[in-house]
């Protein structure tokens, strides 16, 4: 049974934090931040906003765009690396706020790559659950310190996608996922955020093109046949490297990092929501993300 991408949604907080606001605290210039990351501004959530409340707003936006009532959702998957470190995870709170009753709610506590893992799960689980609502939500602003190499990157927000067996929209074809715990300490949060930036971007710039090629080859396709690449918005330099490795025009890699920064697992779905709003939703499309773990993966839709 096929699975389809019925609609996307998003929520980003109102507060805009431009590079100039961060520059003095980080002992850097606004120009240095933009040159190093491609980011001009990002959003920070208010004190009374959290992973759950942002996820709910993105989920409702997605369901409204799909013309679907919350009660028809058969499964909720919430991806977040910045959710509570205890239990239960945020998924049940999001489900309750959405009015999903006893609908099963699953947490995917994976930073940055959480949305692509959740999307791959949803593709396989629609046969059993019908409509699967995937939401990725992150409040990274409360995790960052004063290290300029990390504090300049992150922002807050949530993205969502509804996956359904009902035809309409792009059809999900295949997914490839990988993990390698040998590098878990290179990007981790255990009370403080640690990132070995050089090693992270080295692995991401190799593994993202490789997994994209892998998922395409399984469907006997090439990168040249893909209309749009919707990637985790980690760093503009990384997105440029991926495009170069795939030998595709940079314009085919959708980017909005300059306005939102790196919103971890939410970034790929926030980008997909903006892309779907402003572009003809024509395939093939490849989703891809890389993050802490290391975890990485790609999903093909046509």
Q: What is the pLDDT of residue 116?
A: 98
Angle (deg, nearest 10), helices 236-246 and 30-37: 30
Beta partners for residue 131, in sequence order:
73
Output the six-digit token pair for 177: 């996922």
Q: What is the pLDDT of residue 86?
A: 79
Does residue 294 have a cis peptide bond before it, meaning omega lies within 30 degrees of 0?
A: yes
Q: What is the pLDDT of residue 138?
A: 98
pLDDT bucket at 196, cuts 50 / 70 / 90: confident
pLDDT greater than 90 at residue 247 = yes
Do the beta carbons of residue 114 and residue 81 sit within 8 Å? yes
Do the beta carbons of residue 284 and residue 226 sit within 8 Å? yes
- Of residues 268 and 23, more confidence is placed in 268
**How far is CA 191 from its chain centroid?**
22
Q: Which domains does the chain have, with CATH numbers?
A: 3-164 (3.40.47.10), 170-301 (3.40.47.10)
Beta partners for residue 75, in sequence order:
132
pLDDT bucket at 289, cuts 50 / 70 / 90: very high
HEC assignment per residue over the chain: CCEEEEEEEEECCCEEEEHHHHHHHHCCCHHHHHHHHCCCEEEECCCCCCHHHHHHHHHHHHHHHHCCCHHHEEEEEEECCCCCCCCCCHHHHHHHHHCCCCCCEEEECCCCCHHHHHHHHHHHHHHHHCEEEEEEEEEHHHCCCCCHHHHCCECEEEEEEEEECCCCCEEEEEEEEEECHHHHHHEEECCCEEECHHHHHHHHHHHHHHHHHHHHHHCCCCHHHCCEEEECCCCHHHHHHHHHHHCCCHHHEECCHHHHCECHHHHHHHHHHHHHHHCCCCCCEEEEEEECCCEEEEEEEC
pLDDT bucket at 212, cuts 50 / 70 / 90: very high
Do the beta carbons of residue 73 and residue 249 sit within 8 Å? no
pLDDT bucket at 168, cuts 50 / 70 / 90: confident
Residues 135-166: pLDDT tens digits? 999 999 998 877 877 889 999 999 999 999 99
CA distances from 128 to 74, 122, 221, 236 (A): 9, 10, 29, 38
C-alpha span between 197 and 206 (Å, rounded): 14
């Amino acid at each position: 049974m096929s699975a389809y991408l019925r609609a996307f949604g998003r929520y980003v907080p109102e507060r805009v934090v431009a590079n100039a606001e961060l520059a003095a605290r980080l002992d850097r210039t606004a120009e240095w931040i933009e040159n190093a990351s491609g980011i001009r501004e990002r959003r920070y959530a208010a004190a009374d906003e959290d992973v759950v409340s942002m996820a709910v707003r993105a989920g409702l936006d997605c369901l409204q765009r799909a013309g679907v009532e919350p009660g028809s959702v058969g499964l909720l998957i919430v991806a977040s690396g910045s959710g509570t470190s205890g239990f239960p995870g945020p998924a049940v709170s999001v489900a309750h706020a959405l009015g999903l009753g006893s609908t099963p709610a699953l947490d995917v506590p994976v930073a940055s790559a959480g949305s692509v893992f959740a999307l791959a799960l949803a593709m396989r689980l629609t046969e059993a659950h019908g409509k699967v609502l995937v939401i990725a939500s992150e409040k990274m602003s409360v995790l960052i310190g004063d290290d300029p190499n990390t504090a300049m990157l992150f922002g807050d927000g949530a993205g969502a996608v509804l996956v359904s067996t009902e035809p309409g929209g792009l059809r999900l074809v295949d997914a490839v996922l990988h993990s390698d715990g040998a590098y878990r300490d290179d990007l981790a949060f255990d009370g403080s955020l640690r990132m070995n930036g050089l090693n992270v971007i080295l692995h991401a710039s190799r593994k993202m093109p490789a997994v994209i090629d892998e998922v395409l080859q399984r469907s006997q396709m090439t990168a040249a046949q893909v209309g749009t690449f919707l990637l985790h918005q980690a760093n503009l330099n990384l997105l440029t490297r991926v495009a170069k490795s795939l030998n595709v025009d940079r314009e085919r890699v959708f980017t909005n990092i300059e306005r939102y920064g790196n919103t971890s697992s939410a970034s790929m779905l926030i980008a997909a929501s903006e892309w779907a709003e402003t572009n003809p939703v024509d395939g093939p499309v490849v989703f891809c993300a890389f993050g802490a773990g290391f975890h990485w993966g790609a999903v093909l839709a046509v």
